[in-house]
Chains A and B, each alone.
Chain A
Amino acid sequence: MTDPWPWYVSGPLIGLIVPLLLLVGGRQFGVSSNLRHLYAACGLSRNPFFNYDWKREGAWNLVFALGLVLGGFVAVRFLSAGSITPTLGEATRADLARLGITEISGFVPPQLVSWPALATWPGFVTMVVGGFLVGFGARWAGGCTSGHAISGLANFQWPSLLAVVGFFAGGLLMTHVLLPLLF
């Protein structure tokens, strides 16, 4: 229970979120819409894309996202024992060392994702540029990993398959070509 759960246990349980949301309120699983709701809620823009009734359309999803935050706290505080760092293979460790990432601890590498790292070039690029691309790309594609890869593919939507191919194309390009140039 306090160890990491294998993929054949956690994967199907994640999949069950889709029918749960449908049965509770006919809602479609998709997290990235919250980024739009959050900006709409700021009320900074006269752009029609951000002027809609975000409370009626998105309040349920923002409450769901608050649950995601609380779930992270609960899992680490009450359902984890010992190290939370994933066990990495030799090949991955060697690849990361080549990028200068030698400190492997926590869920995220402290050299890239931490408050002190924010003041460094690799940390800034990772968090700020990475976050920006996630938000820009998810809305352009009309969904992220949850909305397209899980909700969309589970509903046999071929546009979602194209989006997922795009996710992987972009991810492979970043990992194998751009990361060595950036860091």
Chain B
Amino acid sequence: MAATGNAFARSEALTADVEAAAAVDDVRVPAVAEWFAYLGIGIVLGILFVKSQVLSWYRIQEMFRFQSFHMYGVIATAIATAAIAVLAIRAADARTVKGDKITIPPKGCSRYATRYWLGGSVFGLGWALLGACPGPIFTLIGTGSTVLIVALAAAVGGTAAYGYARNHLPH
């Protein structure tokens, strides 16, 4: 059982590394205008996190206690809007503003998809405890809750721990 798990972990790790290498080859160094676009889109999303209140610990608690529709409404309409937009980009064979082809690589998956449901559950434990996922961690720092820098450091530490443990984890 353990040996099988490790074999999966190794093959998954290998695929992930090959994918990462391929991704690196595709990446161009962005022009100045592109940098400002990423900064601007980040600012807009930060504002949306605040104005929708999804960065609030209280809203996350309400959601997991099924006591308010708010978070479900935000997440469902965000997914629906993004899905329609992605379908439209595909249908129109749209390109980036620079004229490059847009490709979205599919998520790779092992036989039992362990990394998704098990890793996802670990993430969920943290999401409900901290009351923030990675995006809102950054935005909360900007709202003045500077102590979230500690949570950010802990999250980087968690990612580092995963990096060292990943060859022993089932994927």
Give the interface of A toward B (CB within 8 A): 4-8, 10-29, 31-32, 34-36, 38-39, 44-45, 47-50, 52-53, 56-57, 59-61, 63-76, 79-80, 84-86, 88-89, 91-92, 95-96, 104, 106-109, 112-115, 117-118, 125-142, 144-146, 148-160, 162-176, 178-179, 182
Contacts and interface: CB of A to CB of B under 8 A. Distances in A.
B121 A150 contact: no
A135 B159 contact: yes
A96 B59 CA distance: 12
What is the interface residue range for chain B against chain A?
Answer: 35 or more
13 contacts: A15-B80, A19-B88, A71-B44, A71-B48, A71-B50, A71-B142, A72-B50, A86-B58, A89-B67, A140-B171, A141-B115, A150-B82, A164-B120
B166 A166 contact: no
A63 to B, nearest CB: 5
Nearest to B63: A171
Interface string B45-76: 11111111111111111111101111101111
Contacts of A125: 129
Nearest to A24: B37
Contacts, number: 522
A76 B58 contact: no
A12 B56 CA distance: 19
Main secondary structure of the interface of A (DSSP, over half): helix
B38 A63 contact: yes
A33 to B, nearest CB: 9
A39 B159 contact: yes
A83 B82 CA distance: 31
Interface in B90-124: 94, 96-98, 100-104, 106-109, 113, 115-124
A27 B35 CA distance: 12
A131 B38 contact: no
B41 interface: yes
B128 interface: yes
B160 A39 contact: yes
Contacts of A151: 82
Contacts of B83: 15, 153-156
A32 B158 CA distance: 11
